[in-house]
Structure 1
Amino acid sequence: MKNITYFVLLGILAMQPLFAQHTLTGKITDAQTNESLAFVNIYFPQLEKGTNSNENGEFSIDNIPNGNHKLVISFVGYETFAKTILFPVSEPLNIQLNPSAIEMEAVIISTPFHKLQSQNVMKVERQSIKEMKASGAVNLSEGITNIAGVSSVSTGLSIGKPVIRGLSSNRVLVYAQGVRLENQQFGDEHGLGLNDAGIESVEVIKGPASLLYGSDALGGVLYLNPERFSAENSSEGNIRATYFTNTQGYNTSAGFKSSGSDFKYIFRGSVSEHSDYETQDYRVTNTRFREQDFKAGIGYQKNKFKTEIRYNINQSKLGIPEEIGEQNTNRTPLEPFQELTNHIFSSKSTVFFNNSSLDVTLGYLYNDRKEFEDHHHGDEEEPEDEDHEEEAHEEDEAAALHMKLKTFNYDAKYHLPYIGKFETIVGVQGMNQVNTNYGEELLIPDATTNDIGVLATSHIHFETIDIQLGARFDNRSITINDQIDRSFNSFNGAFGIKTNLFKKVTARLNLASGFRAPNLAELASDGTHEGTNRYEIGNLDLNNEQNLQIDLALEYKNEHVEVFANAFYNSISDYIFLNPDGNLIDGNPVYVYLQDNARLYGGEFGFHFHPHPLDWLHIETSFETVTGQLEDDNYLPLIPANSLHNTVRVEFEKDWFKQGYAFVKYSSTFDQNNVSAFETPTAAYNLLSAGFGCTVKAFKNDLEVSISATNITDENYINHLSRLKADGILNMGRNISFGLNYTL
């Protein structure tokens, strides 16, 4: 399969004949006043080409190939406009934008047809990294918890795993740079291994997305959109820095990007470093960490061919907290700690035909994971400072746990020509993955995994109804220690419908099936891992997890009020879970993997009020709930507690600063008493946060300034999804962050 894919790519690179290219011209005006609108963003997302309107509202975009291409026009204070245009066109395009206090919409990339959320049949949540930083999030894993229906299983501050509507680990698939992220997601204390620098936005599909992505998307998808290249024939750079009072830590990054008519490039480097986080009573020992990240990309577009290559290396050293010990603000982790190196190499190419196109995405990921345990030093005296800590580590001969995971994946999708009201995509996806152990401790065995899946999906546009449907077949084969072979197959489908029940009410109904093949830990574990305090034994006879979810979304929207209600019911057959068998090995209780049917249900509800004429005032409220149970009515573990969030936000502009904002947020997390047999209830808590920011001119360039504070009342609390909860260790206390972003 690798050779076939390479030949396909070479064929694509060779297909660059000179086809007719077209120019689109037009003018943007206000629908109410007919006044010209300057600096409006005009963008073709599939072509990744765009421009801004001039002072007269006029624009021009060159080198557009034949075929259907989606155009998106967006401007602050106006409704986002989207239209599919068939080229060639004979006349200029004149667009009138309607004023609106609602935030601008963006194109959703994680779904195959790349539509605005208002046009999507499937409900997808989206949030920009800029919004996450404004809320005071220290890193990406903390920032995603601001998205409705998304939580995080955390081990201190540096390690977090996304939870979507109660499902996590290998049940949630993460995409970065357009390729599926593979970094040992099965481990309880294995985080994302990603830095938010160089990421533009996050999209979340809440529900089975196996139709689009195959195995491991049973619970949903976290899709990370990389930073865009700069506009054609332009360059820009920036320097960012944020300081956090709680950890006495910092996040810094610097980047530059430039685009010509054919070539474009981008690069960004970042460093983050934090000491142990502080609660009202103590610092949590060994939650310190250091992370270095570098991202680069190059793009080329000519005639009917477009390609981009991106690379990301992330190196981090993460302390693994176990108990409250020494109290200081050193930043070098103590043992036990992880040393991680993640490489992501991706290539994304598109060939445009007259009325169709072919997308080919290739990815290679190299995950090098080392874990050092404190028994290496035995009874030696603990180092007293950071220099000695480094020397002590250098004396270690090898990591206790050392695994390398090498993954090659491919994704080819052909967008068929429009057939009447049908927009159709067919595709093939696959993966080859090799896991190899080098350390003395074996958490999972050496193994090779191969995936292949074929899919077809259509979006049908009617006058008042949009329908999306599709089907997919997958095969996964796993060879363990060159001796044991297991194969898993699954056929899945999806059906969705979107319509306007009334003039202002939109309804979406989606029914989808999904699956997940057992991971290596579930199939072949046999040992104790430091920090788990249990001996885990895998089960080679496990079957696929298979689920069916129904999702109903209602949305009312007028000029000043938005109200939404999302409800879901998720039925999972052969749900895999750990259970003690009553035995002990080396003094540790033995846990085995079992299967039973399970169900999860709940939803998200809320409203957004921006009254006229106070369009600068926004009042937002949302409520989230999820319940997970086995067939015998016992509750599933790691289900987030119900929560209520209330936010008041204002936006303002003055002559000397732009894009000003301020907010106050009060979040209430309720008691979690619906716990599994091996969990304890978690008490309720309330958190107050606030922040403000603006953009000012400094040396003729833009300087963004932001200040935010979280847990302002310094409340002592424990999140139900904290892995430190079993030891009674508190979550982070009050934290104030100061951020600067200077555009060069």
Structure 2
Amino acid sequence: MKNIFLLLFIAVTTFSYGQNSLNGQVKDESTNQPVVGATVYISKLDIGTITDLDGEFSFQGISNGTYNLLVSSLGYSSRTRSIVVPSKEALEIILSPSAIEMEEIIISTPFHQLQSENVMKVERATLEEISRTGAINLAEGLTQIAGVESITTGTGIGKPVIRGLSSNRVLVYTQGVRFENQQFGDEHGLGISDSGVESVEVIKGPASLLYGSDALGGVLYLNPERYAPVRTSQLDAGFTYNTNTEGIRTNAGFKASSNKLKFLLRGNYEVHSDYKTGNEQRVTNSRFDEWDLKTGVGFRSGDYHGDLRYNLNASKTGIPEEIGLQSTSKDVLEPYQQVQNHVLSLDNKFYFDNSSLDVKLGYLFNDRKEFEDHHEHEHEHETDHEHGEEEEHDEEEVHEEHGEEAALDTHLETINYDAKYHFPRMGDFETIVGVQGMFQNNKNFGEEILIPDASIRDFGILATTHYHLDNLDIQAGIRYDNRSIDSESFGETGHEGFIPAVDRKFNSFNGAFGVKYDFSPAFVTRINLATGFRAPNLAELTSNGSHHGTNRYEIGNASLKNEQNYQLDLALEYRNEHFEVFTNAFYNNISNYIYLNPTGEIIDDNNVFEYVQNNAEMYGGEAGLHIHPHPLDWLHIESTYELVIGKQENGNYLPLIPAQSILNTLRFELGDQKWLSESYSFISLKSIFEQNRTSIFETETAGYSLLSAGFGTSFSIDTTEVQLRVSGKNLLNETYISHLSRLKTDEIPNMGRNVSLGVKVIL
């Protein structure tokens, strides 16, 4: 490790730098007039600007080298142009008018390109788009992305599912670093607030080449809020109310930037009562509250860009078990979780002549406490009055008597690093080599444990290259990973609950190869073949005890092997000024798939499940249509379909596979009208089919349809902008149970009608 950082330091201090300015103008192809407000972005340097009233732009302090300049503006086709710095003359960029929506930069793939130019298909959604749906949390909002669903425990806990894979098979990145929060647990939520997140990118399929172990099923990449433009500042505050949970959310932020320094600070607090089902019953102890603080300091000087960010997320979430006490109290009952996540990240970018070095460092601390159920007597005092004095008094008594000691108290400490060197461009080739690693320690302080005290060490090395021609792009790469797991024993040999020490090492070679071919400017195809792996986690290797959050007794298997998979992905896309259509099919073969299997035994009144392995396969895909007829550019008709089928080698279906679904949306983007701006409205219907392809310990789930609608607008008072938003989900108050709900076994329905009212003020 010391040698790695020594080499990085020597590299930084021995390269010479060059400083240049870059100027240009953006024009309309049909009128030859300047394009005002166009976004001009240099992906390698991660800097951007906006054209002025003359369509002109300027960058200062640019090192010698070859860069991709990405130019985009609403109403025009986005364009990428390769430039060489220093440039002897000002650039002239010509944009073609288009009714197709403006493209954004993809950050999660290594070459930072427009999606239309990317070899790998990546789904992207802004938090503004997600918030318009009225989702209560980020995990719920992600289900609007085709191929993404969520495993839920009430409204406070949600885990992303990508094409049927979840938990440790989906890797989450936040602030540019790998996020670790004991994500193996079924009832362990995402642990990240959408506050201070600008956009979400989803890689569907094995991404071990770029991210290593646990990216076997895909990657959820959260892009943090951007700093304010140079020499500007912004203050904003928002408030949201949810009718179903009587939940409130307050959010405020400030950011400012000078030529070299940038700063931002954002705080968020939200609290919810028990949610109400479609039959007007509240689900006892589904209440939760969450605090979130994000801050960042950016520095840019010549050939160095630094970004230091910190996030504290603290939540207290009830674990619902029944429909009992009817209350709108927001005081969490036992059993509940109390979780704190600390994320400190430092992103360093060093720019040399024609090359660059990107070094990301992260420190994460997860403090998880779980409090067991000691309030059996409270349900003897149930009442039909939601605001009755008696029930509120009962809840207070429960907390006073039983809120002291956590049954489970676990600290997970993680340090990770990611260094990538971008070689000088050689003709049409771009090449990157890198190293990634992680140091992780788990410590227990409670009387119960889920996983023993242990240390995990990861190291990976990778190389990837991209070859670009006018109509053809090829990307390929290879990677080697090593993971070591060393855990301590727990308990006494021969006694119930004894966990022996584990000392295992796991190794894997993985690769990826992809081709994008443009049959025409409107018709594009992508073919990708990638392999991925996942080392067994501590729970799968060492469990031996009752897991109260899931109501089962779990037994691990210290002899488990790597999960290893390969996936073939085929994507076809056609787009013109009137409509877009796409289809994306995949086949995923997984060797040594790890899953829980019921043994038929009962220990401590819990059914016993043991971790076993079997080969498995998954296949399916997504298809969609987006109609935006010209000149009715404000009208959007969208429809997406998704299907996943998962089977073991013995023919049994895999558990927790999402049901087929169709999402139809009618959207109106009305833009600026008189004193209103950015006005929009939508109505959508999501139809979920019956799920009868179930594992041997699952029950079938009936189909249902959920109607949603919303509208929003903004207006200005002097220099103050006010944004208003109203959205409703499950407007017909359907009583339903999702196949991915962990409350399904107790026959507890999901949330009924919810209307979200939001206002935001920007100064």
Q: 1:408 to 1:253 in 2, by over 3 A?
A: same
Matches within 5 A, 1:288-299: 288-299=287-298
- SS in structure 1 at match of 2:673: coil
Distance across 1 between alignment mates of 2:418 and 2:24 = 36
**Is 1:493 aligned to 2:511, yes or no?**
yes
**Is 1:543 aligned to 2:561, yes or no?**
yes
**Is 1:561 aligned to 2:579, yes or no?**
yes
- Find the partner of 1:225 among 203, 223, 226: 223
Specify the alignment match of 2:95 in structure 1.
97
Distance across 2 between alignment mates of 1:720 and 1:611 = 37
Q: 1:619 to 1:521 in 2, by over 3 A?
A: same
Superposition deviation, residue 555 in structure 1: 0.2
Specify the alignment match of 1:195 in structure 2.
193
Matches within 5 A, 1:145-156: 145-156=143-154
Greater alpha carbon shift after TM alignment, 638-647 vs 248-257: 248-257
Specify the alignment match of 2:531 in structure 1.
513
Superposition deviation, residue 394 in structure 1: 8.1
Distance across 1 between alignment mates of 2:5 and 2:379 = 53
Specify the alignment match of 1:419 in structure 2.
426
Specify the alignment match of 1:410 in structure 2.
417
Greater alpha carbon shift after TM alignment, 383-392 vs 609-618: 383-392
Superposition deviation, residue 17 in structure 1: 8.3
- SS in structure 1 at match of 2:714: strand
Q: 1:393 to 1:190 in 2, by over 3 A?
A: farther
Specify the alignment match of 2:333 in structure 1.
334
Q: Please, which runs of 5 or more residues in structure 2 have no aligned partner?
A: 382-389, 490-500
**Is 1:168 aligned to 2:175, yes or no?**
no
**Is 1:311 aligned to 2:318, yes or no?**
no
Superposition deviation, residue 422 in structure 1: 1.1
Deviations 1:315-373 (A, max 9, x none): 00001100111111111111101000000000110111101111100000000000111
**Is 1:30 aligned to 2:28, yes or no?**
yes
- SS in structure 2 at match of 1:507: strand
Specify the alignment match of 2:387 in structure 1.
none
Specify the alignment match of 1:182 in structure 2.
180
Q: Is this contact kept in 1: 2:99–2:630, CA < 8 A?
A: no
Q: Is this contact kept in 2: 1:336–1:374, CA < 8 A?
A: yes
- Find the partner of 1:666 among 680, 685, 694: 685
Deviations 1:480-508 (A, max 9, x none): 10743100000001000000134421000
Count of residue pairs the alignment pairs up: 742
Q: 1:6 to 1:364 in 2, by over 3 A?
A: farther
Distance across 2 between alignment mates of 1:363 and 1:712 = 42
Superposition deviation, residue 19 in structure 1: 3.2
Specify the alignment match of 1:106 in structure 2.
104
Q: Is this contact kept in 2: 1:360–1:412, CA < 8 A?
A: yes
**Is 1:586 aligned to 2:604, yes or no?**
yes
- Find the partner of 1:720 among 739, 750, 753: 739
Specify the alignment match of 2:636 in structure 1.
618
Specify the alignment match of 1:737 in structure 2.
756
Distance across 1 between alignment mates of 2:195 and 2:550 = 32
Matches within 5 A, 1:51-450: 51-281=49-279, 282-375=281-374, 384-385=391-392, 389=396, 392=399, 396-450=403-457
Q: Is this contact kept in 1: 2:502–2:558, CA < 8 A?
A: no
- SS in structure 2 at match of 1:375: coil
- SS in structure 2 at match of 1:160: strand
Distance across 2 between alignment mates of 1:561 and 1:349 = 41
Q: Is this contact kept in 1: 2:187–2:549, CA < 8 A?
A: no
Specify the alignment match of 2:698 in structure 1.
679
Superposition deviation, residue 18 in structure 1: 7.8
Distance across 2 between alignment mates of 1:464 and 1:150 = 30
Q: 1:114 to 1:392 in 2, by over 3 A?
A: same
Distance across 2 between alignment mates of 1:105 and 1:629 = 37
- SS in structure 2 at match of 1:131: helix
Distance across 2 between alignment mates of 1:592 and 1:529 = 12
Greater alpha carbon shift after TM alignment, 475-484 vs 347-356: 475-484
Amino acid at match of 2:90: P
**Is 1:629 aligned to 2:647, yes or no?**
yes
Amino acid at match of 1:326: L
Distance across 2 between alignment mates of 1:545 and 1:376 = 41
Q: 1:185 to 1:287 in 2, by over 3 A?
A: same
Q: 1:347 to 1:386 in 2, by over 3 A?
A: farther
Superposition deviation, residue 510 in structure 1: 0.1
Superposition deviation, residue 5 in structure 1: 5.5
Specify the alignment match of 2:717 in structure 1.
698
Superposition deviation, residue 468 in structure 1: 0.3
Deviations 1:696-717 (A, max 9, x none): 1124321111111111111111
Greater alpha carbon shift after TM alignment, 498-507 vs 268-277: 498-507
Specify the alignment match of 2:384 in structure 1.
none
Q: 1:386 to 1:660 in 2, by over 3 A?
A: farther
Amino acid at match of 1:439: G
Amino acid at match of 1:452: F
- SS in structure 1 at match of 2:515: strand
- SS in structure 1 at match of 2:345: strand
Amino acid at match of 1:24: L
Amino acid at match of 2:333: L
Distance across 2 between alignment mates of 1:589 and 1:712 = 38
Q: Is this contact kept in 2: 1:366–1:407, CA < 8 A?
A: yes
Distance across 2 between alignment mates of 1:627 and 1:587 = 33
Distance across 2 between alignment mates of 1:380 and 1:203 = 44
Distance across 1 between alignment mates of 2:726 and 2:379 = 44
Q: Is this contact kept in 2: 1:619–1:647, CA < 8 A?
A: yes
Q: Is this contact kept in 1: 2:358–2:421, CA < 8 A?
A: yes
Q: Is this contact kept in 2: 1:239–1:254, CA < 8 A?
A: yes
Distance across 1 between alignment mates of 2:481 and 2:192 = 28
- Find the partner of 2:625 among 597, 600, 607: 607
Q: Please, which runs of 5 or more residues in structure 1 have no aligned partner?
A: none
Specify the alignment match of 2:668 in structure 1.
650
Distance across 2 between alignment mates of 1:429 and 1:669 = 40
Greater alpha carbon shift after TM alignment, 241-250 vs 72-81: 72-81
- SS in structure 2 at match of 1:91: coil
Q: 1:453 to 1:390 in 2, by over 3 A?
A: farther
Distance across 2 between alignment mates of 1:331 and 1:343 = 25
Distance across 1 between alignment mates of 2:20 and 2:26 = 20
Q: Is this contact kept in 2: 1:331–1:386, CA < 8 A?
A: no
**Is 1:453 aligned to 2:460, yes or no?**
yes
> Which consecutive aligned stretches of 4+ in structure 1 deviate over 6 angstroms post-superposition?
376-383
Amino acid at match of 2:553: Y
Q: Is this contact kept in 1: 2:374–2:402, CA < 8 A?
A: no
Distance across 2 between alignment mates of 1:697 and 1:505 = 41
Distance across 2 between alignment mates of 1:172 and 1:734 = 30
Greater alpha carbon shift after TM alignment, 501-510 vs 559-568: 501-510
Distance across 2 between alignment mates of 1:531 and 1:395 = 18
Distance across 1 between alignment mates of 2:189 and 2:268 = 18
Amino acid at match of 1:86: V
Q: TM-score, normalised by structure 1?
A: 0.97
Q: Is this contact kept in 2: 1:293–1:314, CA < 8 A?
A: yes
% identical equivalent positions: 56
